[in-house]
Amino acid sequence: MHNKTAVVTGGSRGIGRAIVRVLAGAGYRIAFSYVRDEAAAMALREEIEAMGRPCLALRCDIGESDSIAAFFARVEEEYQRIDLLVNNAGITRDGLLAVLPEEDIVSVIQTNLIGTLLCCQQALPGMLCRRSGSIVNLSSVAAQRPGKGQSNYAAAKGGVEALTRALAVELAPRNIRVNAIAPGIVRTEMSEALIGSMAEAIRERLLIKRYAEPEEIAEAVLFVAERALYMTGEVLPVNGGLKMP
Give catalytic residue positions: 153
Instruction: Indicate the DSSP class of residue 244.
Output: P
Closest C-alpha among 184, 192, 182 to residue 212: 184
The greatest distance separating any two alpha carbons of the chain, rounded to the nearest whole angstrom, comes to: 52
DSSP state of 135: E
Report d(CA 35, CA 43) in Å as an integer.
Answer: 15
123 HSE (CA, 13 A, CB side): 29
Residue 190's alpha-carbon distances to 89, 92, 165, 229, 239, in angstroms, are: 12, 8, 27, 31, 16
Q: Report the C-alpha gap between 141 and 161 in whole angstroms.
A: 11
List CB contacts of 143: < 8 A, sequence separation 6 or more: 154, 157, 158, 160, 161, 182, 235
Distance CA(116)–CA(109), nearest Å, equals 10
